[in-house]
Amino acid sequence: MTNKYGLALHTTSPQLGLVLDNFQGEARSQTWDLGQEMGNQLHLKLMEIMENCTWQDLSFLAVAIGPGSFTGTRLGVVTARTLAQQLDLPLIGISSFAAFAWWWVYEHPLEFGQILALHTPAQRDQLFVGIYQLTADPKNPLKTLLPDMVMTPPEWQEKLQGLELGNELGDLASTLPVISLEVSQNLGMTAPSLLDLAYHQQRFSKGEATLTGRDFPWSLVLPFYGQHPVA
């Protein structure tokens, strides 16, 4: 193979998503609805997506770090960290909310400056939330305005009202209406968007220079749980 590949793992929901792409026209993407079988099946599915490829054909790894299932998120991050450490490859952690937002942008082309306010149910009657803005910057096409966190529904509604009024963003305020979205429960389908965001990060970090694990250390990629799994 003349072109190295990026590999993305998305395990934060019951739907596993894996993508292998060299960004030169050769790509494989697949999802599996595995539920609680993900832990037993992940290695086998990795072998499937890597068929006719070797680990040496990879140039970087990407993994969804949450929000999402505690067990699934941990599984994906641990697996990706292990691979990155053993192969000395860059590992880029991407928010599952950011991946969903980027997927949604591809499905619904938007104007630069558009703000996406994302939420999904969390435990104990709370919400996982995050706010992103589409930009024209190829180095950072999806700006994080509010990092993923946990809020109560009333707190989130207050935040949304502030967005609509322009009170929350200052100079980043947009004249476009805020799009409020509930994040899907099956996120494996957004794995290509996960890999694409990671590709933007690694592509512009050192130009055409070859990256190693020192450029995006595996040790810095941590899961985002947001809540303790036990009340």
Looking up residue 166, the CATH number of its domain turns out to be: 3.30.420.200
Task: Answer yes or no: do 83 and 60 share one domain.
Answer: yes
Task: Answer yes or no: do 48 and 13 share one domain.
Answer: yes
Name residue, tokens 């938007």.
110
Residue 210, pLDDT score: 72
In this structure, of 20-29, 118-127, 205-214, 221-230, the range with the lowest mean pLDDT score is 205-214
Confidence at 180, pLDDT banded by 50, 70, 90: very high
d(CA 18, CA 226): 24
Q: Which residues contact 127 (CB under 8 A, 6 or more apart)?
A: 119, 120, 121, 150, 151, 152, 153, 156
Percent of the chain predicted with pLDDT > 90 = 79
d(CA 196, CA 98): 11
Confidence at 207, pLDDT banded by 50, 70, 90: low
Across the range 127-153, mean pLDDT stands at 95
In this structure, of 7-11, 45-49, 112-116, 226-230, the range with the lowest mean pLDDT score is 226-230
Select from 59, 14, 10, 64 the least CA-distant residue to 222: 64
Confidence at 214, pLDDT banded by 50, 70, 90: confident
Confidence at 2, pLDDT banded by 50, 70, 90: very low
Task: Answer yes or no: do 68 and 168 share one domain.
Answer: no
Task: Answer yes or no: do 62 and 110 share one domain.
Answer: no
Is position 231 within any domain? no
Task: Answer yes or no: do 31 and 58 share one domain.
Answer: yes
Across the range 30-51, mean pLDDT stands at 97
209 pLDDT above the threshold of 90: no
Is position 225 within any domain? no
Select from 140, 148, 93 the least CA-distant residue to 118: 148
Task: Answer yes or no: do 71 and 176 share one domain.
Answer: no
Task: Answer yes or no: do 9 and 88 share one domain.
Answer: yes
42 pLDDT above the threshold of 90: yes
Task: Answer yes or no: do 88 and 196 share one domain.
Answer: yes
CATH code, 89: 3.30.420.40
d(CA 85, CA 87): 6
- For residue 192, what are the domain limits? 5-95+186-220
230 pLDDT above the threshold of 80: no
Where is pLDDT greater, at 13 or 201?
13
Task: Answer yes or no: do 41 and 68 share one domain.
Answer: yes
Across the range 140-150, mean pLDDT stands at 95
Structural domains counted in the chain: 2
Question: Which pTM was predicted?
Answer: 0.92
- Summarised one tens digit per residue, pLDDT across range 157-167 is 999 998 877 65
- Summarised one tens digit per residue, pLDDT across range 74-95 is 999 999 999 999 999 999 999 9
